[in-house]
Amino acid sequence: MSLSNEQVVHLARLARLSIPEDVNVTRKQLDSIFVLVSQMQTVDTTDVEPMSHPQELAARMREDVVTETPCLAAFQAIAPQAEAGLYLVPKVIE
């Protein structure tokens, strides 16, 4: 199993990762991880239930009650830019 350079660039873009200009460097590093993955994939897991969490525990739940009190001022104080209660970000238009 290995990735193409195009796939590496695509994944880096999706994850907003800056990678070395020579994509081969990153691809080779990823490939070495895939060696391990390939090895694991040779194990027969036919009757093994997919594991979503390493601990055999169930989600703890809370009752449906409002417990939070507004702390807008504290949050806005640490935001790079805020106005009229809104957090301001560089313009995004789909």
Partner 1 sequence: MSRSDWEVVIGLEIHAQLSTSSKIFSGASTAFGAQPNVQACAEDIALPGVLPVLNRGAVERAIRFGLALGSRIAPKSVFERKNYFYPDLPAGYQVSQLELPVVQGGTITIRVGEGEGAYEKTIRLTRAHLEEDAGKSLHEDFHGMSGIDLNRAGMPLLEIVSEPDMRSSAEAAAYARAIHALVRWIDICDGNMQEGSFRCDANVSVRRKGAEAFGTRREIKNLNSFRFLQQAIDFEVAWQIETLEDGGRFEQSTVLFDPATGQTRMMRSKEDAHDYRYFPDPNLLPLMIEPEWIERVRATMPELPMAMKARFEREFGLSAQDAAALIASREMADYFSAVVAATGAEHAKLCANWMMGELAARLNRAGLEIDAAPVSGAQLAGLLLRIADGSISNAIARQVFEALWNGEGTDADEIIERLGLKQVTDSGAIEAMIEEVIAANPKSVEEFRGGKEKAFNALVGQVMKASRGKANPARVNELMRRRLGT
Helix/strand/coil for 59: coil
Task: Identify which of 27, 25, 22, 21 has the alpha carbon closest to the alpha carbon of residue 8.
Answer: 27
| Binding flags for partner 1, 19-48, as an x/- string (CB under 8 A) | ------------------------------
With respect to partner 1, which residue has the nearer C-beta, 22 or 75?
75
38 contact partners, CB below 8 Å, separation of at least 6 = 1
Would you tell me which residues interact with partner 1 (CB under 8 A)? 14-16, 50, 52-53, 55, 57-68, 70-72, 75-76, 81, 83-94
